[in-house]
Every structure is written in C-alpha cells, then in structure tokens.
Amino acid sequence: MKRQWTSEEAWNWYNSRPYINGCNFLSGFLKRNDLYLPDKHEEALRIVGKEVALAAEVGLNSFRMHLPPKDIWEAAPERTEAYFEDFLTLCDSYGIDIMPVLFSDCLPSCFSGEDVVGVLPEDDPANWPSSEAYVLAFAKRYKDDPRISVWNIWNEAGNSKRNKDMLSLPFIKRLFELLRETDVSQPLTCEAWGLYKQVEGRYNFEAGLDPMEKEICDLSDVITFHYYGDLLHTKAYFKYLMKQYDRPLINTEWHHRPWGSFIPSHLPLFKKYNIGSYFFGFVHGPAPEFDIAKVWEWISHDDRIDTKLWMHGIFHADFTPYDQDDVDALMEMKEILQKENEEKFGKKA
C-alpha cells in the first residue's frame, strides 16, 4: 500500500490470519552468513531444516530474522536472493512465514556494555543509495508474497547509545517511504524498545514513549515492541501501548529467564490479549557468534538475578529441552491454535 494503513485496515489484516506464534530465529549451528555462501549453502540448508522442523513440531508459525547480510548480497545479488528463496521455501513447507528485519541498532557494543555510540554506514546519506538498492531487491521480489508476514524496518532503533540524537531516524523515515512507494502488500513496523526502561527502573509507562519511539510507532502499520521483563510490568507496558494505538500489537522480542520472562507465564498472557509473539532464541547449539544461553556481559555481575539460568533458548543441541515446562506450554498453545484455526479457517488452515 502506498500510504500508512488505517487502524481498520491493520485490524482486518491481523484478524484474517492465524495468531502469530513465532520466535526470533538464530540457528544454533550456523554462522549468520553460512546460508548465503556457495560452499556452505547446501549443507547449511540441510542442518537448518532440522531446526525448522522442530519449530513446526512445537507449533511455531513465524520467524523473525534479518535479511541476508548486505555485503554478501552486493557481492552476488542473484545468488544471495536465490539462497534466501531456498530458506523461505523450506520454512513455508512447514507452515512458517518470515518477518524480515532490514537494519539494526543492536551493535556489538550493546552486548558488552561499552559506553560508546555505535556507528552505521547509513548515518551518512551518501551511503543511502546502496542500502536502498539492497532493500528494494527484496521488497520488489516479495511485495505480494504471503510468505512474508511483516516488514520490520529497523531493529531496536536507539540502541548502542544512538537514542539521544536519534541517529537512525532519518533513514528509517526514508525506508518507510521507500517500501510504501514500492507498494508492498504487507504491513510495515518499527518497534518501541522497552528494554532500557526496564534496566533503568522506569516502570511508569504512563509517562509516555520517548521521542524516537513515538516517531517510529506513529509511522507503523502495526505496533511492535520488545520487552524482556516480568509478567506484571510486561502487562503494564503493553496496556499502555494499547491505549495509545488502536492497532494490532506484536511483541517481537521477549523471554529472559533471569529477568522473569518465561514461556509458561508470558505466552498465554500474549494470547489472552491477542498480542502476537516472537520469543528470542530457539536451539542453543555450538554456533560461535552469539551464545543465547549466556547472559549479556553487562548484567553478568548483577547479584539481584540468577545468572546461572539460560537467558534465552528452548532446546539443547540434541533437541532435548532445557526446561520441559517450556515445551509443554508450547504444545498446549499449539493445540489451542489448531482448534482455533479449524474453527476460523477450516480444517486445511
């Protein structure tokens, strides 16, 4: 659509599809680039296929994940797009669609807690044309493809000390324009990022969104947010967002055991309030880039939390569960959604 969706249009889209029950997908066995390298793609697809099958087995129907890295696409556009198509086809064969993330402010310094402002090429408008070309290659190809659920314009805008000067906002606005000019049929979103409020003990959500959050939520067709906190504060946060926006809500990052965000408690809550869900992490394997079970360095010495708990992740590398209660809760939700979808869409849904 060449303009922002109305509230009614957003709700019609949301209510016409199954409830979003997904996760942020990071393979436990692969580096991010492996799927898109010619000498590794075939084996990577075979390996990741087992994780996709497991996700479907426990009832997940959507993945949130980054597009192929821009530098790899620039080196071999057609091949990279073909490899992404292979993965998309694999997911679709298990009834899983994709929410692609285009860019991110979640840079390496945010995990270490370094007091530095992250830098991105897109801070310089001179670099925008190459980034626009990258986005357009995928937007034009998948603008009407039902395997793409939502376009996530930017991950955690304002992270990595970039919030004060809203460094990413100019290009975020340009990307909203670009995808609307392309007339994509899927909704656009850029999430409110509640994590720093939680860390700073800012639980008075009624005080309002920060300027960056308000700008990006006001641009969005559907409202997405991140929050890793306990049940009561999670509820307070999304109830505030509900009052501000008469649009569907989707929590695109949650699940953090040391901070009290659990599958058995939070997933039923999101379903009760019709809030879409993408918890963070799935299989904790030997992939070297990001240990989803280990707490971030900057909270590793916080004696108020149990840092021995897995932070994220549902399964060990051999696909046995870290906590059987998590799997039980997922299977219960799967059964609920199967019945709901049969009633709503018929037995073939």
Strands 283-284 and 315-316: parallel
| Nearest-angstrom CA–CA distance, 176 and 178 | 5
Evaluate whether 336 touches 271 at the Cβ level (below 8 Å).
yes
Give the pLDDT of residue 349: 47
Residues 6+ away with beta carbon under 8 Å from 178? 132, 135, 136, 139
Ordered structural domains, the chain, with CATH = 7-345 (3.20.20.80)
Give the pLDDT of residue 201: 66
Give the pLDDT of residue 198: 63
Evaluate whether 10 touches 224 at the Cβ level (below 8 Å).
no
DSSP letters for 53-101: HHHHHTT--EEEEEPSPHHHHHH-HHHHHHHHHHHHHHHHHTT-EEEEE
Which segments in the chain show pLDDT lower than 50?
Answer: 349
| Nearest-angstrom CA–CA distance, 203 and 229 | 10
Give the pLDDT of residue 79: 98
Q: Which helix (H) or strand (E) holds 29?
A: none
Closest to 101 (Cα-Cα) out of 22, 166, 38: 22
pTM of the model: 0.96
Evaluate whether 23 touches 98 at the Cβ level (below 8 Å).
no
Measured between alpha carbons, how far apart are the two ends of the chain, in Å? 26
| Nearest-angstrom CA–CA distance, 160 and 71 | 21
3-state secondary structure of 342: helix
Q: Please write the tens of the pLDDT for every residue from 27-38.
A: 999 998 999 999
| Nearest-angstrom CA–CA distance, 323 and 263 | 10
Q: How far is CA 56 from CA 14, 61, 63, 315, 333, in A?
A: 21, 7, 11, 14, 12
Give me the residue label for tokens 């793609």: 41
Q: Give the other-Cβ count within 10 Å of 281's Cβ.
A: 23
Q: How far is CA 302 from CA 197, 208, 233, 297, 307, in A?
A: 17, 28, 20, 10, 8
Q: In the chain, where does DSSP find H-type helix?
A: 7-15, 41-57, 70-75, 77-93, 108-112, 128-142, 169-181, 195-199, 211-219, 231-244, 263-272, 324-345
